[in-house]
Amino acid sequence: MAIAADSTAEHAPNPVPSEPSEESRGSTDQPDQGESNEVDFEEEEEEEEEEDGDAEELDGLAAEAERMRAVVQRLYADPVGIRVHDIIIEGNFKTRAALIEAEVADLLRSAETVQDLVRASGLANARLRGLQVFDSVSITLDAGPPEFPGTTNVLIEVVEAGTFGGFSFGYFSKPEARSGALEGSLKLRNLFGYGDIWDASAAYGWDQSSEIGVGVSLPRLKSIPTPLTARASILCQDWLDFSSYKERLLGLSFGLLSTRHHDLSYNLTGRTLSDPSQMASKSIRRQLGHNLLSALRYTYKIDQRDSEIRPTKGYAFVSTSQVGGLWDRRGLRFFRQELDVRGAVPFGFYNAALNFGIAAGVILPLGRGFMESSSPVPDRFYLGGRSSPLCSLGRVSSLLGFGTRGVGPSESRRFVPSGSVTDDSAASPGRDYIGGDLAVSAFADLSFDLPIKLFKDTGIHGHAFLSAGNLAKLSEGEYKNFSFPEFGRTFRSSAGIGIILPTNLFRLEINYCYILKKCEHDCGKTGIQFSFSSPF
């Protein structure tokens, strides 16, 4: 090209010696175009080779995809027999391999077809994740040894989680507590490689109640296939304002069976009741002192609701049975039964849903002449308090608008003359709420979204409610005076509306409660009531 350009310049008409022609300038400023052609040719060859390689790669991927489709179609069309030859575990630097095998080995080896093995692998993955000691679990099916056709090796790869399981802190109220409490808990996991989870918790309430507990749970122990738990705790509660006693509990609890629907536990607790005020009523004074509680508790639970905090559909049923006085006739002997049924019906507008439920409970002393004996005061049923009915599944306790232990049988406290009071007759000692042996409560709650986008995005919603309940004493011969018509006539009830603010730490309700019916000595009033409940 340069040569051609130069030839064109020599034969050009009227050339100007002092100024090069346009082609001469171009040939002087630009590099040799012959080299450029060679480079372009090489680049074209490389591009053609790359295109050929891409085409071959695409053909390979298409063929592989076709083979995979054929395998999947075969798996879906006909069962393919297979047998697990070996289970290989990797990544368990701290967790015992025996624990992992015990959780999934029988499940995987029971599969007789590839389809069954794929399903079993999914269940095995869920089981291992449920141990709460792995960050991730991967199960791969690989071909077995050539000398054993029709077999597979199952490779389980795990990534172990850290020892520190987290720290939680919150403020909320429990149905059995008189006020809110600050609670904190620390969790450690897999300290000894058995999938063990350790937790320590502490709680302190504004009423000077306190609780300290330490517990451990094991997913399995040798041949026992169900999780086992053990917990030691110290609990102190102040009921002086309501029932004129303080309660201190020091006990051990053991979880013997825990499945999706069943829970069996044993509790051995030393209980001490004291009355620093010296004003307790006659029924309370008879039960002061130290007692031993040896009890077996069984709970059957079905919960098909779509949420525990704000259900919009589904149902739930809980039955709790407790027998006290096992293996120790000198301890507290009683039988306690609770039933709770819930339901939720959606309405299809504003995310509205109607929740309703009814709960009942009875406690009876055990032994000769049991109906003339007294049931333990702390184990009786109490109504009232600030807990939400939706957050108290399985308990007969909530009755909005009434104070803690503010409903049911009560007795006048002992009058203690004081020198600072000029007129002793004018000083009222107050009353002790002693609880009931029979309890029934019911509620209906209509929840709905508020027409404000900010509230919808944060989960803040409104509700209207109606609650009712009653207590009756049956022990100490009081069953002779019981009648169902009178029990129904004295039902306490309340209604109201409110706003619910759900958070990660607690569920806050701001309710306006209107007392529809109450009896003499009941502690209930119309007005604003704040409620803190645990969302867990």
CA dist., res. 439 & res. 430, Å (int): 24
Report pLDDT for 347.
Answer: 92
Instruction: Name the residue with higher pLDDT: 281 or 28.
Output: 281
* Integer Cα distance of 365 and 371 in angstroms: 7
What pLDDT sits at residue 230? Answer: 93
pLDDT at residue 465 is higher than 90: yes
Question: For position 38, what pLDDT does the model report?
Answer: 47
pLDDT recorded at residue 25: 40
Q: Residue 390: pLDDT band by 50, 70, 90 thresholds?
A: confident
Encoding tokens for residue 329? 């006739």
Identify the CA nearest to 94 among candidates 158, 23, 173.
158
Residue 176 predicted with pLDDT over 80: no
Closest CA to 367 of 478, 475, 464: 475
pLDDT at residue 386, rounded to an integer: 79
Identify the DSSP state of 364: E
For residues 253-266, give the mean pLDDT: 91
Does the pLDDT value for residue 50 go beyond 90?
no
Confidence of residue 55 (pLDDT cuts 50, 70, 90): low
Averaged pLDDT for residues 518-532: 89
Give residue 395's pLDDT.
Answer: 82
pLDDT bracket for residue 6 (50, 70, 90): very low
pLDDT of residue 175: 45
**pTM to 2 decimal places:** 0.76
* pLDDT at residue number 430: 86
SS3 398: coil
Q: Which band of pLDDT confidence, cut at 50, 70 and 90, is reported for residue 514?
A: very high
pLDDT at 60 over 90: no
Report in angstroms the alpha-carbon separations of 55 from 48, 61, 99, 299, 372. 10, 10, 49, 65, 93
Helix (H, G, I), strand (E, B) or coil at 404: coil
Instruction: State the CB neighbour count (10 A cutoff) for residue 444.
Output: 16
With pLDDT > 90 as the criterion, what percentage of the chain qualifies? 43
Min mean pLDDT across 139-143, 386-390, 414-418, 484-488 is at 414-418
Question: Helix 33-77 crosses helix 114-130 at what angle (to 10 degrees)?
Answer: 100
Instruction: Identify which has the larger pLDDT, 168 or 158.
Output: 158
pLDDT at residue 14 is higher than 70: no
Rg for the chain (alpha carbons), in Å? Answer: 38
pLDDT in tens, 214-228: 999 988 877 777 888
Mean pLDDT over 399-409 rounds to 89
pLDDT tens, 227-251? 889 999 999 988 988 899 999 999 9
pLDDT digit string, tens, across residues 101-111: 988 998 899 88
- How confident is residue 200, by pLDDT bands cut at 50, 70 and 90? very high
Q: Does position 446 have pLDDT exceeding 70, yes or no?
A: yes
Provide, rounded to the nearest whole percent, the portion of the chain with pLDDT above 70. 80
For residue 208, the model assigns a pLDDT of 62
Question: 388 or 21, which is more confident?
Answer: 388
Q: Is the pLDDT of residue 439 over 90?
A: yes
The confidence score (pLDDT) of residue 385 equals 82
Query: Residue 199 pairs with which residues in a beta bridge?
Result: 187, 215
Would you place residue 472 in the very low, low, confident or very high pLDDT band (cuts 50, 70, 90)?
Answer: very high
Arithmetic mean of pLDDT over the chain = 82
Read off the pLDDT band of 33 (50, 70, 90).
Answer: very low
Per-residue model confidence (pLDDT) at position 75: 60
Cβ atoms of 260 and 303 within 8 Å: the answer is no
pLDDT value of position 150: 86
